[in-house]
Amino acid sequence: MATYSQALKGYVADVPKVIFRRCDKKAYSFDELTAATVSAQINTLDVNAGWSLFPVAVLPGQSTFTMTFTTGKFDADLFAMANKTEYEANSNYELDTAERHDVVDHAIELLQTPVAETIYIAGMEETDEQTIPSGKYKVDGKNITFSSDDAIDFVDVIYKYVKEVNEAIITNKESAIGECSCKQRCSLAA
């Protein structure tokens, strides 16, 4: 919710800070929300007696309580929280990357050591030949050498490299159950 204030010459954005605590006691905090809504739907059953026009009792029935929040911050904790998963160390994770290099003396040096057979350079192919033919390249660790017959100013290289990461496996099989609290906060947005 945002309300314009003439005195402040701007909008007052009214969004809560959200703290979600899963049943396994893991807690998550989200304090950069852009929107939040809370809605309750309570279904009741009226009990009438005799000829009375008004119910003599109202019994609570099936009810739902829905909380929705939107954040502009992309955070992996959102997925770990919602899918009831944990981060695990993976020292063999193959991470994709793309780099642009100026070709100097028909060679470049990559920033990372590529996984074998994962290098892609548009319009070219990898070779193992001693003399590199035109349109091909040779890989030696981080170094890539091009044919001396090719006049190349720069190349875009896409490849995978191994990196140690903390990884959470996300599936649609699990969902989190817990308690959520919203702490009221106000901020000025010009």
Least confident of 100-104, 165-169, 182-186: 182-186
DSSP string, 120-186: B-TT-EE---SSPPTTEEEEETTEEEE-TT---SEEEEEEEEEEEEEE----SS----EEEEEE--E
pLDDT, tens digit (0-9, with 9 covering 90-100), for 27-49: 888 888 888 888 888 898 888 88
Predicted confidence band of residue 11 (pLDDT cuts 50, 70, 90): low
Q: Is the pTM of this model over 0.85?
A: no
Q: Which residues contact 130 (CB under 8 A, 6 or more apart)?
A: none
**SS3 track for 16-80:** CEEEEEECCCCEEEECCEEEEEEEEEEEEEEECCCCCCCCCEEEEEEEEEEEEEEECCCCHHHHH
Predicted confidence band of residue 186 (pLDDT cuts 50, 70, 90): low
Q: Is the pLDDT of residue 142 over 80?
A: yes
Domain range summary for the chain, segments of one domain joined by +: 2-87+169-189, 90-166
d(C-alpha 47, C-alpha 139), whole Å: 81
Which helix (H) or strand (E) covers residue 11, if one does? strand 10-14
Q: Is the pLDDT of residue 84 over 70?
A: yes
